[in-house]
Chains A and B, each alone.
Chain A
Amino acid sequence: MSDEIAIRVNNVSKNFRLPHEKSSTLKGVFTSLVSKKRKGYETQHALKNISFEVKTGEFFGIVGRNGSGKSTLLKILANIYQPNKGTVEVRGKLVPFIELGVGFNPELSGRENVFLNGALLGFSRKEMQAMYKDIVEFAELERFMDQKLKNYSSGMQVRLAFSLAIRANTDILLVDEVLAVGDADFQRKCFEYFKTLKRNNKTVVFVTHDMDAIREYCDRALMIEGSKIVKIGSPDSIAQSYHKLFATPTTNKEGASQDRWGDKLAYTSDMSIQLESNTITVTQKVMANQSLSGPVIGFRIRDAAGKEVTGTNTAIENTKIHDLRQGKSITLEWRFANILADGQYLIDPAVLHQDGITVSDWWNDSKRFTVKKNRHLPYTLDPGFTLRVSND
């Protein structure tokens, strides 16, 4: 990394006009001219006064929840959108990697798509011919190149697209969640490619929800929330703030979430979680406001990013709960093996009617707990591995 600046974003704002009623016909234009009604659109501020710099050779992460403006920012960097205010300076050649296989045409053969996509990356036919063999070999698609792309499986398409994308000869790369697609094998290839980029001192701007990737690859990161930059800093501090982001807004004074619904005939009145190194015990107390016959009671566990990890209920466990009478309560104690990896988790208890569908009380994010195992796995589950190595 050097002190040279690769990207300088200076006070950038971006608004989108969202028409109330899409007046993209001439009639719409004329009628709005004549009637002089209130303006027919709403302004959405996608980005407000964004400023930051990315140094040459830096791996720079951008995080934020959905709709915070990350992708708009990336598109402005890629010069796809024009900012309403502010400037973006880019030094060096920039390739947006916003989506894999841009411009792929399903009606064309794999071979023709390679040349078409290559042209979009700026390679002449001659240059592509020189690289063609490598591209196809890397994608492991030698036998399929003369078939139409529409006959490819999605995995094959992604492989071909990725194999093409990494040929891009560029100084700056913009990456938008490409890691989210593809199977484990493909993700491994992506990570390997990232390591190569890092070795070759390329500048990468990287948008993701994956905090482990942020910690592992980024030199610095930026968090965007509500169209504004809330923090720029080390990957660790950004990852922490990101997790907090999901904690604060849904929690009230007592620390319990209000993201809760249902008819409340019966409801979860208390949840407690006891963590031991090998077992987790969840104690769930359910109170009945009114009588509820044969309720189905259960819970679900999600990780800090909101992804569902596991869960169960009394119907799945084939345990029939007797009818709850008004004013009575019942306590359930769930025990299960603690195979969760390090990290923070949310627990969402639920009380359902007999049909298992009608919600009596659904309580998202009722409690949070943190699993600490003193070792870091970049995955959700840590079932405890044993290893035996034998020399053959």
Chain B
Amino acid sequence: MSKKVHVQTTINGEAVDFLCEPRNSLLEVLRDDLDHTGAKEGCNNGNCGACNVIMDGRLVNSCCVLGVEADGCEITTIEGIGSAANLHPLQQKFLEHAALQCGICTPGFIVSAKALLDENPNPTEDEVRYWLAGNLCRCTGYDKIVRAVLDARNGA
């Protein structure tokens, strides 16, 4: 075990300090130390997108970012995108379109789609499909996910 490092960061608008080993990924820190279990581990090597978070405005696989790299950064996780009382339009559209089955990939998809709409508020279907190709879903065949994102365009 290596000596732990003190990291100061902002998560969903709140200042958060944590200690982590240099080898800990941001995903591990979020899930195991900070109780942010909305980010999921599907592959731990950047291929499934289930752990996606927005870091300083950029979409990242949190499994491929070290916890120490979050120092001084602003991070948005699924927990910061909306709440039961105040759903983000993407979350509302995912529900209305039945765009989830098991739901394990859903937080990653919503975070990714949020990053897309932040950058391009009115994407075409092709642009949605291109952007979301880094997120794997094994249940839905993506049809309803793509429709939900397209339907969330104007409300976002």
- Specify whether A and B are partners: no
